[in-house]
Homo-oligomer: A and B are copies of this chain.
Amino acid sequence: MAQKKLGKQTLQFGSAPVILSKASVVGPKEGQGPLGSYFDLALQDNLDNQKSWEMSEQKIMQHSIELALEKAGLVPDDLDLYLAGDLLNQIISSNYTARFLSTSFLGLYGACSTLVEGLAVGSLLLDGEYADTVGVSASSHHDTAERQLRFPTELGVQRPPSAQWTVTGAGSYILTKAGSLLKIPQVTIGKIVDKGVSDSNDMGTAMAAAALDTIKVHLQDTGNKMEDYDLIITGDLGLLGLNVLKELLKHENLPTDNVSDCGIMIYAPDQDTHSGGSGCGCSAVVLCYLLDQMLKNKYKKIFLVGTGALLSPTSIFQGESIPCIAHGAVIEK
């Protein structure tokens, strides 16, 4: 039997869990972006006929898991377990979606690393034979996140150039036991890296060091090389953060040609998002696009590095710096 633990931080799945289906629901801005046509559904507006933005966010998460189940020919009761998380206080988008599903549920919080955290826990449930079918979701919503974490969008507060734009979007994935399509053979669970950055309008720079740490640990734990991956994709460092990560990789004599970021891919430069996208929903929906590209043979093996800035407004107001984390998942065809 293959070793299940590689080094200190990497879990290896002998009977690699398979991504059976996936679905993405996004807001209008994301629908108008370069990946717009790849998403399953784009809302006409961020409120989507709901009474509040929070209700809209919950609805898109629910819609995405419903779609993912439907594509897999499953109903909620077929799930052994549901794993979800989001940016809202007490992860309410996830809790109310889990209420709809009425299946065993574990709530997760890892900021923008939440999707990969879910894929990791889901994979070990499957590989360890504790479950046969697992659902994983993550979401964010521009207007809910901004008013909770920064300023209500109605205020029109000017955003600094380093700020990232919280994505309105939800992505859901159905994981199942060994099959032949898109597999998750390894995940690397990150540790907190905090270089003292305390500007919550520049989280990409704060998270770059965590992404570097997880990439380095992953290569060390597995013996893999950067070149073994067609794409190493962070989610979400944004323009500024990705540049910092590339500089850090160069200092380590690691190649950067195949390194990109979900937050950069989701918006066009003329969409005025400043440093690109962010939020749990960003990598959660961009991964749907990437998996499509894998199915079309553009990529054979990718390493998705979910990066989370684990601050709160309270911790920043009280003078703390931003603790960051990055969890990585290998996905191969």
Contact = CB atoms under 8 A, between A and B. Distances in A.
Interface of A: 4-5, 8-9, 11, 51-52, 54-55, 80-81, 85, 88-92, 95-96, 98-99, 101-111, 117, 120-121, 124-125, 127-132, 148, 189-192, 194, 310-315, 318-320, 323, 325
Contacts of A131: 5
Contacts of A129: 4-5
A176 to B, nearest CB: 14
Given A125-B124, A311-B90, A314-B54, A130 B98 contact: no
A261 B54 CA distance: 33
Given A52-B318, A88-B312, A98-B325, 16 more contacts: A4-B128, A5-B129, A5-B130, A51-B319, A54-B314, A54-B318, A81-B189, A85-B109, A90-B111, A90-B315, A101-B192, A105-B190, A105-B325, A106-B121, A107-B110, A107-B310
A85 B95 CA distance: 15
A188 B129 CA distance: 15
A91 B95 CA distance: 16
A125 B170 CA distance: 28
A109 B124 contact: no
